[in-house]
Every structure is written in structure tokens, then in C-alpha cells.
Amino acid sequence: MADQKPAAEIADLLQEDRTFPPPEAFRAQASVRDEAVYARAARDPEGFWAGFASELEWFSPWTSVLDWKPPHARWFVGGTLNASVNCVDRHVRGARRNKAAIIWEGEPGDRRTLTYFDLYRQVSQFANVLTSLGVRRGDRVAIYLPLVPELAIAMLACARIGAIHSVVFGGFSAESLRDRINDAAATLLITADGGWRRGQVVPLKQMADEALKETPSIKNVVIVARLHDSAAPVHVKEGRDHWYHLLMQEASYTCEPERMDAEDMLYILYTSGTTGKPKGIVHTTGGYLVGTYATTKWVFDLKDEDVFWCTADIGWVTGHSYVVYGPLANGATVVMYEGAPDWPQRDRFWEIVERYGVTIFYTAPTAIRAFMRWGTEWPRRRDLSSLRLLGSVGEPINPEAWVWYYRHVGGERCPVVDTWWQTETGSILITPLPGLTTCKPGSATRPFPGISAEIRTDQGETVEVGGGFLVLTRPWPSMLRGIYGDPDRYVTQYWSRWTPDIYFTGDGAKRDRDGFFWLLGRVDDVLNVAGHRIGTMEVESALVDHPRVAEAAVVGRSHEIKGQAVAAFVTLKEGVQGGDVLMSELKDHVVRKIGAIARPDDVIFTADLPKTRSGKIMRRLLRDIAEGKALGDTTTLADPNVIARLKEQYQETGE
Ligand code: WTA
């Protein structure tokens, strides 16, 4: 864990005194209004979680709520259940049978609505399809789809037969897809002929074909016909590739769900860490479902009449937990939109809110900052009066953006819940409860009931008021259970900084006098670009993979819309000259290796990188240069002249 910046340093810069109590009309109807929930959960956290668990449907009950042998937890020990039964079957048996489960809109404007009964049938059918293609309990299934209903159907169908899904975001490159398939040894891939993004076709099957050249474990490929005809010609490999709609025509509507142990794996989701290799975060069935169910219900004050729209792509954890599992376990109506927020115009999101009467809207600060820049006329054009609650996730939200969101989207009547969590935590952990919490813009406020978070110093001392490292000091049901295929990394990465019962989040934070948490960003070599996690080492590996690059160091710099942007300092091999052509070639190379989300904003060619006398790259100095800031301590630098040269160059080439 190289070079951590003390959170306390930046903590002092944050000053925000405005407070926003729950708007009265909202408070009056909110389900959770009693402060006592916190004390009750703190007294008996296991009982608190068991209360939510008992609202779900189990084949057989658990014998103990928690078995905690730090850092390994088992929740709802001995219980058996099926996630798809909880997300569909149980709603079909009652009044929600004909309720809209998914309201979907494609970017070109095509629309579909699936009721819970539709969803139930299609999940069962596709589960039978998977079985007919040889997928068995415990097998891994890779999913590489645009944001279409078939993505949720595929996940739930896997869950139904006990297969483990690994969803790969459609914006990732062929190589990223290949590596994820191989890491999990997936036997089947579900993809599409393509998807739409800003009026362009994203040729997913073509990219998948590239990946499939080197994925020996894949036996079958299922292709969803999203574009149907023309737009992208699709290669269908005889015997391996099958069209989704043809398989579905043959499939029966009934499929007996597998009885899964609470601790059986539900899915793997890859996320960036501090090495060049993404980690396959493992979530299990019972605890994950309890965590997402409980937080969707309480954080979003969910009611049966709500229309819930989380704008995240399902390729990220936010989509797993708050497009699919959390809302569907609650029997909610979920909106899904395939495309870009500014397509064909900058009011597309508000048009969708108006069209479907969205009541709860959950998005990322990077989107809010873009809306701010586009101006208030766009939300003003549409009727947003159906909205009653707003949420934010993925990165720290600056107070200015919070207040803008509250005013111009929420019309000052909707609470804003700033929710902190991670792929690893599975569900929201630090958040307001909207009927209860008086919010301060920029603060994620307090740990959810039953969650225990603290600020620690490097030495492990607890900081009551002030800055430091954010840690979690008690296990929670939806916590990750491991890193796929790498049990040691699970322990060293998260549980080894102090004692093995303390989870290190990788985030810096400060706690104020009211016990509110203010998130300050990552303290490790992980960037957060437009709400997406990117490891600096991954980008560095992609760069040094280029034949002309000798060495690369990647840092984040602040960016008005994206929060952070990627700045790459590159030294070239002997005799190679930098220049605009090579610069864009290197950016494209990173896109090819990882995906467009990792494209460097700045590439700075340099003869040397600032190193300590022992040869370690001093990233802190590079960050300061990229930010155009005064430089920190340079006394340990091997060659002090490097810095002066770099600063000069950055001013010339940096954007
Ligand atoms: C950051 C996304 C501040 C944080 C759910 C965390 C946040 C990382 C917030 C996880 C927030 C997420 N305020 N920072 N409300 N929410 N983060 O795994 O740095 O994609 O560690 O999960 O995003 O990113 P991930």
C-alpha cells in the first residue's frame, strides 16, 4: 500500500454548516422515524439482522445467525433459500403478480414492461435453458450484456439453478472480459449482438469473439438479439453459439429452484485493487440478500407504490444490489434505461422520470455535476413532481452538487441520501435514514443500524472527532466472503492492517462532533473516475505493455465532472520520441487493454520519474504536479532536478 496521504490533512479543508432536516411531508409518511432503531440494533445486531431475514422466504431456517471466526464470517448458518424465489416467486403468489417488476427503455426509445409474472416465467425458462446447455450448480456463468431486461433475467436464472454469475460491464474491453472469464473458469457466456450508447452500436459479440479466442473453459455462448437485424453482423459459431430467443421458444415455464445454503456463492464481481489484477469479490446468498433487502427498504423508504430508478449499469455492484436484488426482493417496480443521459438531449433522464412517474431516483455525483453544468433549464422542462426521494452513490458528493440536486431535481421536498459503500460491502453501510436524519451536504452521515464504523489512525487508535482511516469493526451480513481463487489476498487486503477483526476500507474519512462521517476518497492506489474504480497499477501495466514504453506511473488529479481524471507519466524506451501521435496511441492502447473508462486524460512523456534513493516512484510528487500544486517534501528524492523538468513539461503538455 504505497504512499498514503493522511486524511486528516484534507479533513480540515471541509467546512459545511448547512443542515437539512427531513422535509415535513416526507417525514410524516416515512416508515422509519424513531431514533431508537439505532440503539436497538447496537444492543443486539444479530437480532436486528435476523428480523429482516425472517421477512424473506427460506426453505429451512438458520440455526445460528452468525458464526464469526475473524476474518471469516458465516451468516444464517444452516439456513437454505433461493435468491430467485425471493425476487420473483413469492411476489407472484400474491397481489404483486401483475405488478410491473421491470420498466425498461432502450436508448433508441423502444420500451418493454415485465410484470412479476412475466419475470417469473422468463427466469424459469432461462434457468431451463442454462440447464439444457449443461450448466450445473456451482458452475460459473459470465454475462456481458447491455442494460436490457435479459441481464436481470440471466442473473436470476443462474441463482435459480445455483450457478454463480460473473457480470462483466459492457464497457470493458475484450481483454478484460477474457481475463475475468479465465479467472473464474466460466463455462458459459451470455452476450448480445450489441447495445446502444449515444446513438452508436456497441458491438458486444464482436468483442466477445475476440475474448473467446483464449477462453478454453467456455463451452457455450448465448446471444441476446438486442439489435435484431442489421446494425452489427454477428458471427455465430456452429455448436457453440446459440440465439437466446430460439432457446427460449423451446423452454418450459416451470423450473424447480435449487435449495441453496445461505453461504453458497451467489456471484463473483470483479473490482480494481492495488495490484494490476482485478479481484473477484465473492458474495454469498443469505447474507447478501438480507443486506440488500434491508437497506433498499429502509434507506429508500420503499413502499409498494414506488417507482424506483437506480441509474447504475448492472455491470457494477450498485446495479447488482439496487437494480436487481434489493428492489426485486422487496417486490418493487424498477426502471431500467439502456443509454446515455444526454441522448438525444440533455433531459433524457427527466423525460424518463416524467414518463413513468419515478418516485425514487438514485444516481452518482459525476452525473449530478454534469447536470449542474448543463443548467437548470433541462430539469425544468419536465414534470418531476412524482419524485419523493433522491440518492447519491459512488464517490464523495461536493456540498454544492448536493444542494443543487436537492433544489433543482428534488424541488426542496425530497430528502437526499448520500450512501457510502463498496463492492466488498455488498450493500449500503453509511447513510442517512431519510425520515430521521438531519443531513449535512457532503456527509454520508451515520452507519446504518447494526453497522459499526470508526476512524482509526495508522497505529490503530480510534479517533472520535477528526480524520483517519475508515474501518468497520463488526461483521455485517452482506460482507464479501472472499476473493475468488485467492484466499490469502482476502486476509492481507482487508483484515491485516490491525487486528483480524477490523476491516480496512481503503477510504479516508473524518468524523465530526455529531458523529457524522465525511468520506474523503481512497487512501490506496485506487482511483475513482466518474464513480468507477480504477487501479493505478492496472493502467500502468496496460501502458508498459506497449512496445515503446519503458516505465509508467499513473496518478489521479481532480476533475470538475468526473471527480478524478487519470494522469499518466511515461518514460519511453531508448531512442523513441514522444509526440501527439504516440500520445493518442497510448491512450487507445489502454482502452484496448482495459476499456474506455480507463483512458488517460493526460499522458506526459518524461525522461525520468521522481524516485526515492531506494528506487520507489514518488507518486505524491506526481500528484502534486498533476494538480498544479506546491510540492510536498522532496528531500528523499534521488535526483531533485527531475521535478523541475517534469513541472515544466506538464505545463506544456497537460490539458
Ligand atoms: C467510493 C460503489 C464517498 C469509496 C458502491 C469506496 C464513496 C468506493 C461513496 C467503492 C460515497 C462510494 N461517498 N465515497 N457515498 N460511495 N464511494 O466498489 O471510495 O465501485 O471505497 O462501490 O467508492 O467503489 P465501488
What residues line ligand 1, using a CB cutoff of 6 Å?
A: 271, 316-318, 393-396, 418-423, 444, 505-507, 519, 522, 528, 533
The C-alpha atoms of residue 223 and residue 494 are separated, in whole angstroms, by: 37
CB neighbour list of residue 599: distance below 8 Å, 6 or more residues apart: 566, 587, 590, 591
Pairing assessment for the beta strands 503-511 and 517-522 based on DSSP bridges: antiparallel
Q: Is the dihedral of CA 619, 622, 626, 627 positive or negative?
A: positive
Give the model's pLDDT for residue 230.
Answer: 60
Q: Which residues neighbour 537 within 8 Å (Cβ) at sequence distance 6 or greater? A: 274, 275, 276, 525, 554
Alpha helices in 185-236 (DSSP H): 204-212
In a domain, 382, yes or no: no
CATH number at residue 194: 3.40.50.980
In a domain, 251, yes or no: yes
DSSP state of 202: E
Tell me, yes or no, whether 499 lies in a domain: no
Last residue of a domain, one of 235, 258, 281: 258
| Residue whose CA is at the smallest distance from ligand 1 atom 13 | 396
Element (H, E) at 285: helix 285-299
In a domain, 212, yes or no: yes
Bond into 146 cis (ω within 30): no
Domain endpoint, select from 209, 241, 258: 258
Given the DSSP bridges, would you call strands 517-522 and 532-535 parallel, antiparallel or unpaired? unpaired
Q: Give distance in angstroms: CA of 234 to centre of ligand 1.
A: 37
Among protein residues, the one whose CA lies closest to atom 24 of ligand 1: 422
Q: How far apart, in Å, are the Cα atoms of 465 and each of 214, 396, 518?
A: 52, 19, 11
Q: Which CATH number goes with the domain that contains 642?
A: 3.30.300.30
- Closest of 234, 130, 140 to residue 192, by C-alpha: 234
| Ligand 1 centroid, distance to 15 Cα (angstroms) | 21
Q: How far is the CA of 139 from the centre of ligand 1 (A)?
A: 30
Give CA 123 to chain center in angstroms. Answer: 24
In a domain, 559, yes or no: yes
Report CA(47)–ligand 1 centroid distance (Å).
28
Domain membership of residue 55 (yes or no) is no
- Which of 258, 288, 307 corresponds to the end of one domain? 258
* Cα–Cα distance for residue pair 257/254, rounded to 1 Å: 9
pLDDT more than 90, % of the chain: 88
**Tally of structural domains, the chain:** 2
CA 348 / ligand 1 centre spacing (Å): 25
Task: Enumerate residue ranges in the chain where pLDDT < 70.
Answer: 1-15, 229-232, 632, 652-655
Range of the structural domain that residue 183 is part of: 112-258
Q: What is the pLDDT of residue 231?
A: 60
Coarse DSSP helix, strand, coil percentages of the chain, rounded to the nearest 5 percent: 35, 25, 40
Do 577 and 610 touch, CB atoms closer than 8 A?
A: no
DSSP string spanning 573-604? -TTPPP-HHHHHHHHHHHHHHTBGGG--SEEE
Q: Which atom of ligand 1 lies closest to the CA of 419?
A: 15
